[in-house]
Amino acid sequence: MKTLYIVRHAKSSWADMTMQDIDRPLNKRGKKDAPFISSKCVELEYIPELIITSNAKRAQETADYFIRKFDLSDSQTQVNGKLYHAPEDTYFEEAQLIDDNVASVMMFGHNPGITYLANNISKEYVDNVPTCGVLIIESTAIKWAEVEPTNCKLTNFIYPKLF
């Protein structure tokens, strides 16, 4: 079985409207929510062996809080530009490339792709995956190359306002 954690980046700043979207950093709330949710992940034992993040600054900053909380090494983290505003299928396509020795991965990305992904595999409608929301997805696949929506199940969904 493979476990996929999909995280929407924490709340980002819109203070500088001239800034390129990819360069927007986290705002005050984002800097509060990311360490809080990463602690909740530890508490709930949602700890991946590998983290892959979008190359957007806000996604990387969010991932950094989780990386520190999980005490992961540089070899356990990757930046992947394909996750920047990726459609739902991209998360599965990138997961299919992961080494089979890895049992769990956490990917940091963006809406609307993450909400579409949640609704593709969930039996219940998910209106919106909020910032710093985490989807916990379990796949019956033995190999990452076999992970796809049909063998995945949304087993939990956590986000800051849930607590």
Q: Is the dihedral of CA 63, 65, 70, 74 positive or negative?
A: positive
Cα 83 to its chain centre, rounded Å, is: 10
The confidence score (pLDDT) of residue 132 equals 98
- Cβ-contact 58, 12 below 8 angstroms: yes
The confidence score (pLDDT) of residue 113 equals 97
Any bridge partners for residue 135, and if so which? 6, 157
pTM above 0.85, yes or no: yes
Integer-rounded Cα radius of gyration of the chain: 15
Q: Which amino acid is at 73?
A: S
Domains and CATH numbers, the chain: 9-13+21-162 (3.40.50.1240)
Mean pLDDT by 10 residues, the chain (163 residues): 98 93 97 98 98 98 98 97 97 98 98 97 93 98 97 97 95
Q: Following CA atoms 155, 62, 59, 61 in sequence, which dihedral angle do they give, to the nearest 10 degrees?
A: -160
The confidence score (pLDDT) of residue 123 equals 86
